[in-house]
Amino acid sequence: MSKTSWWRGAIIYQIYPRSFRDSNGDGVGDLPGITERLEYVAALGVDAIWVSPFFTSPMADFGYDIADYRDVDPLFGTLADFDLLVTKAHSLGLKVMIDQVLSHTSIEHAWFKESRESRDNPKADWYVWADAKPDGTPPNNWLSIFGGVAWQWEPRRRQYFLHNFLASQPDLNFHNPDVRKAMLDNVQFWLDRGVDGLRLDAINFCFHDPLLRDNPAKPEALRVGRGFSPDNPYAFQFHHYNNTQPENLQLLRELRGLLDEYPDIAALGEISAEDSVATMAEYTGPGLLHMGYSFELLTDDISAHHVRETVRRLEACLFEGWPCWAISNHDVQRVVSRWGGAAPPEHIASQLTALVCSLRGSACIYQGEELGLTEADLPFEMLQDPYGIAFWPTFKGRDGCRTPMPWDETAQGGFTSGTPWLPIPDAHHALSVAQQSTREDSPLSRFRNFLRWRKTQPALIFGEIELHGAGDPVLVLSRQLEGHRIFAAFNLSAGSERVHLPLFNGLRVFDGHGLVSGSIDGDTVILPPHGVVFAE
């Protein structure tokens, strides 16, 4: 893993196709719409795009339930549209990563339709089937992330099938070598079309315990973290047996062997395990995944202590792998609202971008973060997400972070000429790309300026990291490469902070990064609310 690999220290911009840009007026974003806006993405200063699923799907989980891994859903366009997108991205210097959802398919996939018909057909063992207990109840106590039991009865076979997610997302049986080969063949199909990397959805869910042992109960005090509310019964268990099995490592080795047949491909795994940091370290490195990311910084905990200890824990066990960090994506509340509160200051968006892009590793930036978009508050009747509908009103689901990109201040936001699949909040019109492009101090301008400046600082891209101090609310770190050391301090509070930091005595404050910056007076760092200091 040399410094010349494009993915080391890369900034990866996540595009959620349904909500990025609609080219044909049906209210849903599509591949041609992405292609139309790639100049905008390239001008942000990012290195790659990650395109969320656009494959053939009944859209029960908005594309994460795949019915055909080798075709584009007509909602999003055609294979020719995808090829044009890749060509255009490459011409602009952007790498292209796509989602691969390996652990499960749609209930509409041809494999499942065959598998459910009988217990002796050629695909009979391609999914996780199990007999009922003598009383007719499911074979064990495993639960679905989306609520309720993780087993669905199929009358054709008189058996249950496993679904870790929706009942319309049956889990594949990766203990079957034919399944592994078929899925690797699907991956190869996209590698041959020129993609530069894969984002591997729920990659630790591919294998299950073949003995189907019950998961142990989790004490109430421990039902926190990992993005699962204690209102969700999924938090009531230690998930020792329905995911993160030892056999998964062999699958990753087989996948890496395929990827290594192509030049400079990157595999980024989404990992949600009982100890996600330890699993990230276990799953990344030579012969395994290139990078991994987890939900540790996708929680509600904004404290400097939480960020510092998460990074320290990972650095302590990640010896040969490469981390990737995310503070926002299509599955969680937008970070400006999650970490900024009800009335976040405008410049907090650029501060949080600077923070995640200053950690050792690569970073995923979700579309709209560069604009400082807040979470949309949608009424129940407008919800589309089955997760939110099931857990309303204590949890409103993921629609609030999936509303369309506001390109201009018109009613449809320049996203579509029709009716958007989700409404664009009034507050987002004032944050549109058109509005912000004319302001030098806008979140968009600060985002571009920071990424431009970061490219001139190799220590921030490739350097080792050291975390300093232990207090809140200021996070202090340094990055060092070949004798050059950059220090950074981030005030994660809404109040001004004066922090005694002998490390900063005599340091020169950087400018040119476009952030709301503090100052240094001797060995005291003075930080405005949500301010930043970079120094050398």
Alpha carbons 252 and 1: distance in angstroms, whole number: 17
Sole residue written with tokens 């080795």: 253
Alpha carbons 496 and 489: distance in angstroms, whole number: 13
Quick one: how far is CA 178 from the chain centroid? 29
Asked if 21 and 415 count as a contact pair (C-beta separation under 8 A), the reply is: yes
Please name which of 453, 442, 429 lies closest in space to residue 513, comparing C-alpha atoms: 453
What one-character DSSP code corresponds to residue 274? T
Asked if 352 and 339 count as a contact pair (C-beta separation under 8 A), the reply is: yes
Order of all β-strands in the sheet with 524-527: 497-500, 524-527, 519-521
381 given a catalytic annotation: no
Written as six digits, the tokens of 359 are 């950690």
Residue 267: half-sphere exposure toward Cβ, Cα within 13 Å: 33
Question: Hey, what amino acid is at 485?
Answer: R
Which residues touch 275 (CB under 8 Å, ≥6 apart)?
none
Please name which of 295, 328, 312 lies closest in space to residue 360, comparing C-alpha atoms: 312
Alpha carbons 390 and 397: distance in angstroms, whole number: 9
**Cα–Cα distance list, 431 to 210, 326, 457 (Å):** 51, 22, 29
Given 47, 81, 201, 296, the catalytic residue: 201
Given 192, 261, 381, 440, the catalytic residue: 261
Sole residue written with tokens 């990866």: 12
Sole residue written with tokens 């309303």: 392
Asked if 526 and 495 count as a contact pair (C-beta separation under 8 A), the reply is: no
Alpha carbons 419 and 226: distance in angstroms, whole number: 35
Written as six digits, the tokens of 124 are 């009979």
CA dihedral 345, 351, 353, 354 (to 10 degrees): 170
Asked if 105 and 112 count as a contact pair (C-beta separation under 8 A), the reply is: yes
301 given a catalytic annotation: no
Helix axes 348-356, 443-454, angle to 10 degrees: 20
Strands 474-481 and 484-491: antiparallel
Alpha carbons 169 and 209: distance in angstroms, whole number: 18
Active site residues: 201, 261
